[in-house]
Amino acid sequence: MLLVNLPYLEDIYSGLKNAVAIQPPLGLAYIAAYLENKGESAEILDANALGMSIDDAVKKAVRSKHSYIGITCTTNTIHLVYDFSKKVKEKCDKIIVVGGPHVTFSSEETLKECDEIDIIVRGEGELTSYEIVKGISLKKIKGITYRSKGKIISNPDRDKFEIDINNMPFPARHLLPLDRYRPGAFFNIGNSGKEYATIITSRGCPNKCVFCSSSHFWKTFRVRKPKNILSEIDLLVKEYGVKHLHFLDDTLTVPASRLEKICDGLIERDYDLEWNCYSRVDIITDDIVRKMKKAGCFGVTFGVESGNQKILNKIQKNITLNQIRKAVKITKMHDLDVHADFMIGLPGDTKKTIIQTIDFAIELNPKLALFSITTPFPGTQMFDEMKKKNRLGNIKWTEMTMHEFTKFGNSIVSSEEIKKLYNLAYKKFYFRPRFFMCSTKRLIMHPREIWPFILGGMYMVSQK
């Protein structure tokens, strides 16, 4: 199977492209590793990292020796999948298989929208992809939606625990163009190419926020054991020379006992390795952050989302404003970079609560505040609720963006007002004396961050 990561950089981001992270498609690399482990041939075409055009990717796919083409996508990139699939089918009859969050939750709709796609893989892709390539009858494969005699058929979902993530082969990084990856402007400590890597140590999320599809996509929250994780880190450091490791888990710090064992292992190894991660605020304690720092952690991203407690409750975030304040304070105290994510236009948001969110970001004063426009993606509770209320209208997937613009208001604040408040959030947070003073002080202490800081500024200024 040829596994394809389509070139989305130019299409999705309007700002300076050099400031945007280019990360390995670990999902595809896991599928490739699983196929190889089962004796099947696999190839990865990371057209995004290679800077290819859609037409270039089509040529590569058509020339590939593989009969199956597997594509991963999100809602932001589904239009690219349609374009790619149509152009491939014009030139050959290879079987096109598509997976990822978007098609998992809109599988039948996807096949209706694009005649050229043959099979949708819903949810976890390793075992399903193997059974497809193996030639098992489609009607016997769980977790797929496909065409049969002019009809669209959706087979039952896969069972929850068919894949043991502690016994899976590590991602097939040997099939990736490792010299092409980079961290972008944020959490950038100067390493790129083979010195920069990503890792996933869990699947799913223990929380069920209304704006996120993670818990629905993975169905259950599963974690890899510390020994398994440390073995992969050993490989990354010793074989590839990795110096910056980015943990991509929705929340690395759950459960805390597992995180401590990972940190103990890293402390014992004493690698020349630094890492960053995402965390919930309610897990953070002084002892945990101290150990994270000792183990090489240099930065943490917190999903704050809102500065209004009622809004946090409404979106089922299950955290409090005081827990957020405490977590940010503790993390800063240990000189770790703090990034905080906020959402503009959440369910129940008014202009007043959005202003409170902006003011809360300023109060917390993280190293970076990242604001996004709330978007109801398929697979989220928010999407389902808006669909029931007929508030989605005629959806164009290209309008599902978290930064550029939005067509979705929240029934209280219009889409136009949300965009204005989004722009205001960036202006108020970044164009203030305290931010410049803190940034200048930090850059003097950490000169390696000067260029990433400049890149980040250039990206924000160049956004349309």
Q: What is the pLDDT of residue 99?
A: 97
Q: What is the pLDDT of residue 110?
A: 96
Q: What is the pLDDT of residue 406?
A: 67
pLDDT tens track of the chain, all 464 residues? 999 999 998 777 767 777 788 999 999 999 999 999 999 999 999 999 999 999 999 999 999 999 999 999 999 899 999 999 999 999 999 999 999 999 999 999 999 999 999 999 999 999 999 999 999 999 999 999 999 988 999 999 998 778 899 999 999 999 999 999 999 888 888 889 999 999 999 999 999 999 999 988 998 899 999 999 999 999 999 999 999 999 999 999 999 999 999 999 999 999 999 999 999 999 999 999 999 999 999 999 999 999 999 999 999 999 999 999 999 999 999 999 999 999 999 999 999 999 999 999 999 999 999 999 999 999 999 999 988 888 777 777 877 776 666 677 788 999 889 999 999 999 999 999 999 898 898 889 888 888 888 888 887 777 76
Q: What is the pLDDT of residue 10?
A: 79
Transcribe 249-302 into DSSP letters.
Answer: SS-TTSSHHHHHHHHHHHHHHT-S-EEEEEE-GGG--HHHHHHHHHTTEEEEEE
Looking at the structure, give the CATH architecture of the domain made up of residues 178-462.
Alpha-Beta Horseshoe (3.80)
**What does the domain layout of the chain look like in residue ranges?**
2-154, 178-462
Judge whether 2-154 and 178-462 match in fold.
no
- Beta-carbon contacts of residue 216 (< 8 Å; ≥ 6 apart): 105, 379, 380
Q: Does domain 2-154 have CATH number 3.40.630.30?
A: no
CA distance linking residue 221 with residue 277, whole number of Å? 17
β-pair partners for 274 = 244
Structure tokens given for 228: 């398994």
Q: What is the pLDDT of residue 72?
A: 94
Q: Tell me which residue has tokens 């596994």.
A: 3
Radius of gyration of the chain (CA): 22
pTM over 0.85: yes
